[in-house]
Amino acid sequence: MSPDHSDDYFAEGLTEELIAAVSNIPGLRVIARTSVMRYKGTNKTIAGEVAGALQEHVLRKERTVETARSTRNPEAYVSYLRGRQFWNKRTEEDLKRAIDFFEAGVKIDADYAKAYAGLADSYAALALLELMAPTEAYPKAGEAVRKALSLDPHLADARTSLGLIRFQYEWDWTGAKLAFREALVEIEKARELDPLSLAINTGVGHVLYLSRQYDRAIEEYRRAVELDPNFMATHVWFGRPYLEKGMFNEAISELEIAVRLSGESTLALAMLGHGLAAAGREDEANHILNQLKERSRSKYVPSYWIAVIYNGLKDRERVITWLRKAFEERSSWLVWSNVEPRFTWLKDDPDFVSLMEAMKFPS
């Protein structure tokens, strides 16, 4: 590849595709793109050594044919790679640019399953980060994932997206369980192949936080920050275990970084507002609250995150009011509300209990 950094999307995308192909060869253990990229540019001889080791007779013996999931059109493929490049950044602007590239890919090749999966992932991410109303984003994600699976029923990316849609939007706990079960083998493989994955590490941190293992969650998030200090999602979630431990200065520091990296996204601002309120800095928390209410005049502002700030202020009535609005909006984040530590103080509140019953969580 040329030294021109504008080609990075192609180099990184090609790396990911090669890793996916080579990982199918028995006897080889391959780490994935996000782990490999940590060593980008550190040893130019490695590529030559690997190429020499993978002789054609080995590849010929174990080569697999990727039918509809791939494309033979170079333009569609490049559009897919550009889409994944922007999808990995997880900001509103970048996710919308990712959608443009994935749509360009399927316009060129209408049978490109992986591009449809990319579309589903992008809309699901917009909904999960509540950068787009769930009632707008998830149906688009669902349409794309159904198309991807019609072309390739075994595509892991699409199976995972299907599980997320059923869990976070349809609140179909049984359907989600079945879809995730089908994807679980691939996810476990991804964890093994990609020990330095930011998405996987932050996901592990999320589970540890929800299970109230705050010290372990902090260590997981700290590891993710060391891998990439500019990955916004890590910082915004890093604040949560600090808040639960009463480490307000540390939490606010992480959340201020998240606000800056996200360009003052609603989610990051709301988390900062919650942290400021919990730290007793109510005037600053109310300033953010008013800022978000003003923003709601011109764009979608999720009710869930307004509730989160009121939760920090311990305003029971307004928390319940805004959570009910979030229920009507089918907020992705309500699916964790029965185990979310920040709501523990409400667990015996009749109105909160009623809302949890309306979610019809499995016993």
Give tens-digit pLDDT for 258-272. 999 988 999 999 999
pTM over 0.85: no
Residue spans of the domains in the chain: they are 7-40+49-62, 109-192, 222-359
Q: Is the pLDDT of residue 151 over 70?
A: yes
pLDDT of residue 240: 95
Domain 222-359: state its class: mainly alpha
Query: Would the CATH topology of 109-192 be identical to that of 222-359?
Result: yes
Question: Is pLDDT of 160 > 70?
Answer: yes
pLDDT score of 62: 44
- Average pLDDT value for residue range 74-90: 90
CATH of segment(s) 109-192:
1.25.40
Residue 233 confidence (pLDDT): 84
pLDDT band, residue 185 (cuts 50/70/90): low
Cβ atoms of residues 204 and 221 within 8 Å: no
Give CA torsion, residues 259, 264, 265, 268, to 10 deg: 30
53 burial (CB, 10 Å; 0-12 / 13-18 / 19+) is exposed
> How high does pLDDT run on average in the chain?
82
Region of poorest pLDDT, from 67-71, 117-121, 201-205, 210-214: 67-71
What angle separates helix 74-87 from helix 8-22, to the nearest 10 degrees? 100
